[in-house]
């Protein structure tokens, strides 16, 4: 649905309007400066397994809309989806030579990038690979990498059942395999007194393998997830709030993960200790989150934790207290931040920006602003056609 609506958004002359230019009058007759959105030319797009259609389709079309020649590489586990999408585009009239499509593993694609030297690369995936590519490509890259995404429940408790359901969806839908998934939940003590943890536990228990409301984790093994939980439990005051066990009665291969939706409570002050922070804020790309509690006087500690995180992708501030919202929003930086009692971290539609903030390499997706930022550069042409004044004489040299 998102991909369909994206195509609808850029029907008619909307692609033409993406490249709208502007002019500024010059200093004399015949002079003006013209600001243009200019394509990079040869570009590459690398996208992950978890959104087989939406991410590669939207980024590919954005690259094409701005006049580039893209080479597309999708995670091989799901690349058949975009292969079929390309065939559909060809059937709808896209010239065969407009897009190159490569099936390969990571090292082969890395070699192609280094040898081909594309003018710009869009990478969506892990932070580890993103940083390697940023070096290999000498900075000619836009990134939408990992997100250790936070949610803050403010002091004003309301709509507890609804907020609990959104928290469950944000953390555990798609078995947590979304870069926007809720990774850590900061709960004001008023919410814990209202029983939000028990409600989350009840909601998580509804998820079962039979209907795939919890399912295989493609990039993190069961052992890796359980080892991470054990490491967190060594932090003083930590405990399993719910989950923490492998799924049973299944035939999921060991190379994948299969665990119950899990939440581990870690005390806020322990999270902030240097020896614990990197461990607590390690993204587990599965049905797992960290939860913690804070008092009103400890909001500054929550904001300190948010600032120290390195991947500022999505976030949610669940509150209708305007002054609380101003305090949190004014002291955080996440690129896609939802604010209000209905705030979430996941489920971004095509009609608003989705991408990180606070990093000059940050990419966006979906909107005209995102397309122009990622897939074009600003070029200024200063037109100066005269006339030269009839009385002009060669001036003294300077």
Beta bridge partners of 345: none
Q: Which of 79, 267, 80, 250 is nearest to 175 (CA)?
A: 250
pLDDT at residue 146 in the model: 76
**Domain 2-145+360-384, CATH class in plain words:** alpha beta
Residue 136 token pair:
């290999």
The pTM assigned to this predicted structure is 0.94
Residue 209 token pair:
């393998």
pLDDT at residue 311 in the model: 83
DSSP code string of 141-210? EEEE----EEEEE-S----HHHHHHHHHHHHHGGGG-STTSEEEEEEEHHHHHTTHHHHHHHHHHT--GG
pLDDT at residue 239 in the model: 98
Q: Where are the domains of the chain?
A: 2-145+360-384, 150-339
Residue 119 token pair:
């003018």
Radius of gyration, CA atoms only, the chain: 25
Instruction: Name 68's Cβ contacts closer than 8 Å, sequence gap at least 6.
Output: 39, 40, 41, 42, 43, 120, 375
Fold of 150-339: Aldehyde Dehydrogenase; Chain A, domain 2 (3.40.309)
Asked, colleague to colleague, whether 2-145+360-384 and 150-339 share their fold, the answer is no
In this structure, how many other beta carbons lie within 10 angstroms of the beta carbon of residue 69?
Answer: 17
Which residues does the chain have with pLDDT short of 50?
none
Residue 314 token pair:
């999505």
pLDDT at residue 24 in the model: 98
Which residue out of 54, 167, 179, 306 is catalytically annotated? 179
Which residue out of 54, 144, 260, 293 is catalytically annotated? 144
Beta bridge partners of 262: 288
The helix, strand and coil proportions of the chain, stated in percent and rounded to the nearest 5, come to 35, 20, 40
Residue 144 known to be catalytic? yes
Residue 179 known to be catalytic? yes
pLDDT at residue 163 in the model: 98
């Amino acid at each position: 649905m998102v991909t369909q609506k994206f195509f609808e958004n850029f029907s008619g002359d909307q692609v033409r309007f993406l490249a709208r230019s502007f002019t500024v009058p010059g200093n004399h007759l015949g002079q003006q400066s013209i600001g243009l959105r200019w394509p990079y030319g040869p570009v590459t797009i690398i996208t992950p397994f978890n959104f087989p259609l939406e991410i590669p389709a939207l980024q590919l079309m954005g690259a094409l809309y701005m006049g580039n020649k893209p080479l597309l590489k999708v995670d091989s586990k799901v690349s058949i989806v975009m292969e079929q999408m390309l065939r559909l585009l060809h059937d709808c009239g896209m010239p065969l030579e407009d897009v190159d499509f490569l099936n390969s593993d990571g090292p082969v694609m890395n070699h192609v990038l280094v040898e081909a030297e594309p003018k710009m690369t869009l990478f969506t995936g892990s932070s580890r690979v993103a940083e390697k590519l940023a070096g290999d490509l000498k900075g000619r890259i836009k990134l939408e990498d990992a997100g250790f995404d936070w949610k803050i429940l403010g002091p004003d408790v309301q709509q507890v059942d609804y907020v609990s359901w959104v928290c469950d969806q944000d953390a555990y839908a798609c078995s947590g395999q979304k870069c926007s998934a809720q990774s850590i939940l900061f709960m004001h003590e008023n919410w814990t007194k209202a029983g939000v943890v028990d409600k989350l536990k009840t909601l998580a228990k509804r998820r079962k393998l039979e209907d795939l409301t919890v399912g295989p984790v493609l990039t993190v093994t069961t052992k890796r997830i359980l080892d991470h939980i054990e490491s967190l439990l060594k932090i003083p005051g930590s405990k399993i709030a719910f989950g923490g066990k492998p799924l049973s009665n299944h035939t999921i291969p060991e190379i994948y993960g299969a665990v119950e939706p899990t939440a581990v409570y870690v005390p806020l002050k322990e999270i902030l200790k240097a020896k614990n922070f990197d461990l607590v804020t390690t993204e587990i790309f599965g049905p797992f989150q960290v939860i913690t509690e804070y008092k009103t006087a400890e909001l500054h500690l929550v904001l300190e934790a948010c600032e120290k995180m390195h991947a500022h992708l999505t976030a949610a501030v669940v509150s209708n207290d305007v002054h609380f919202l101003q305090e949190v929003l004014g002291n955080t930086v996440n690129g896609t931040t939802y604010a209000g009692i209905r705030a979430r971290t996941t489920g971004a539609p095509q009609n608003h920006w989705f991408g990180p903030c606070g990093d000059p390499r940050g990419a966006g997706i979906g909107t005209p602003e995102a397309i122009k930022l990622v897939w074009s550069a600003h070029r200024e042409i200063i037109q100066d056609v005269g006339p030269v004044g009839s009385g002009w004489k060669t001036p003294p040299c300077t």
